[in-house]
Amino acid sequence: MSETTRGYPLRNGTIDPHVVTVKRGIKNVMDVGQVVAIDGKPQQDVWRDHCNEYQGTDGTVFPPFLTEHDRLQSFSGDLCRSFKPWYQKKSFYRGITTHRYIANIGDFANDPELNCFCDGPCPPKGLMDLMKCMKAPMYASMPHFLDSDPELLKNVKGLNPDVNEHGIEIDFEPISGTPMVANQRVQFNMQLLKHDKVELLNNLPDTIVPLFWIDEGLALNKTFVNMLKFQLFYPKKAVGVIKWLLVTFGGFGLIGCTIYHYKDRIMSFASSPGSAAVTKVKPEEVEQKDVSVIGQPQEPAKINM
C-alpha cells in the first residue's frame, strides 16, 4: 500500500474521530506524509476553489533532504487550511545542525493564493475569519497581533509583539526531515460590536480584541536526539572517513600499478643517451715531433788531442 490512515489524540485526551489518509512515500520519498483525504473526502467543502485542497503533510512528518530553497506545506485541521513555512536561517539543537522555517497567517486581501479563504471582504492583514471553519465568530492571528495590520495594535493596550516569543517556527534536521523544535502559536480574537439596546454594549468600539492565545510546542528529548545521532550522523561520518581512506589507498595503488606496468620503459628512458647531458672530455693534443729521444740526454764525448 502507498497510503495509510491515522487518528490523533485531541487536547482533552480523547481520540480525534476524523480519519486522515496520508501517503507513505514508497514510490516517491518526497510524498511521505502528504494528506490525500480526511474521512474519505479528497478535499474540504468549507472554502472556495483551491483553498479546499489538502496541501502538505499532516504535520507529524516531512520530506527528507531539505534544502534552503524548499518551501514546506502542512495542513492544519484546527484552522481548516494549509500553511507554507519558508526557510529563515540555519540553527542548532543539541549539537545538530537544523534549518529554521517560519510561517504566519498571511494577507488574504493581497495574496491571490489566500484570497479564496475570504467569503466577502477580506479581514485586515494577519487575521483569518474562522466562522466557516469553527462555526464561531472568531478570528485567528499571531499572538499580540504579530505581523498583522498595525491598526489592530492601536485599539488595544498592553500588546507587545515579539518575533521570538510570538512567532510560528520549526527547526528541521534537513537530512531526515525530522522536526527537532517547534512552536505553533495562534491567538483567537473576537470583534466587539456596538449595540444600542444593550446597556453594556452601548459604548463598545468597533474593533477586534484578543481573547486568548495558545503555544503548542515540541522539543525532542535527549533519548531521541541520541538515537538520531547514533543511527544517522555517526554512521554518516564513518562512511565519509572510510570513503576518503579508500580513495587515498586507491590513488596510491593506481600510481604503484602504473609504475610497475611501465617500469621497463622508465628504466630505458633513464639510461638512454639523451636522457642526461654527457660531457665528452678529449685528451689535450700533443705536438708531434719527428725525432723521439729515449732515455736521458748525454753530453757529447770529449776527444783528447
Where do we find the cell 470583534? 191
Cα gap 125→141, rounded to integer Å: 9
DSSP string for 148-212: S-THHHHTSSS----HHHH-EEEEEETTTTEEEEEEEEEEEEEE----TTSGGGTT--S-EEEEE
Nearest to 108 by CA among 121, 93, 94: 121
Are the C-beta atoms of 152 and 210 separated by less than 8 Å? no
Of the candidates 144, 129, 127, 121, the one whose C-alpha atom is nearest the C-alpha of residue 80 is 129
Q: What percent of the chain has pLDDT over 70?
A: 81
Lowest model confidence (mean pLDDT) among 59-73, 145-159, 174-188: 59-73
Supply the pLDDT for residue 249: 83
* pLDDT digits 0-9 by tens, 117-165: 988 889 999 999 999 998 889 999 999 999 999 999 988 888 999 998 9
Quick: pLDDT tens for 186-243: 999 998 877 776 676 677 777 899 999 999 888 888 887 888 777 777 777 777 778 7
Return the number of other C-beta atoms located less than 10 Å from residue 58's C-beta.
20
